[in-house]
Amino acid sequence: MDPDETPHLLPDGERVWVVSPSAASKNLPGLLNLFRSGQTEPLILGDAGQPEAVVVPWDVWRRLDALAADEDGFDHAYDTVRERLDNPQPSIPLEEAAAQIGWDLDEDIDESDFKPQ
């Protein structure tokens, strides 16, 4: 029988701990309590120490989903900037330029995912 938790070495040298499905099912209520208390450390699970799935807090998943889906937003912003560079015009206020590419300058930025350098 596999141990409940196995280290797995990632290509970049970082080590993650992979939890067996049976251990994950036993620990889900406790994990949910950790998420409710503000902890965001994911639960990585899989068989034989191979990562196959990740359980993350809902807010983390929503941010990841928004980032993944923002590809069209990036393309739109890139096209707008490219068009402006091809057709120089008088300067416009930053707020107007941000509105054209869909940026909200008043939106708070969650920097918790950024690692200090």
Q: In this predicted model, what pLDDT tens digit does every residue of 20-38 receive, in sequence order? A: 999 999 999 999 999 999 9
Mean pLDDT of 74-100: 76
**What token pair was written down for 25?**
């099912």
115 compared with 85, residue with greater pLDDT: 85
Strand order in the sheet with 15-19: 5-9, 15-19, 43-45, 53-55
Q: What are phi and psi of 53, to 5 degrees?
A: -155, 160
pLDDT at residue 1 in the model: 45
pLDDT at residue 17 in the model: 93
Query: Angle 58-69/71-86 helices, nearest 10 degrees?
Result: 40
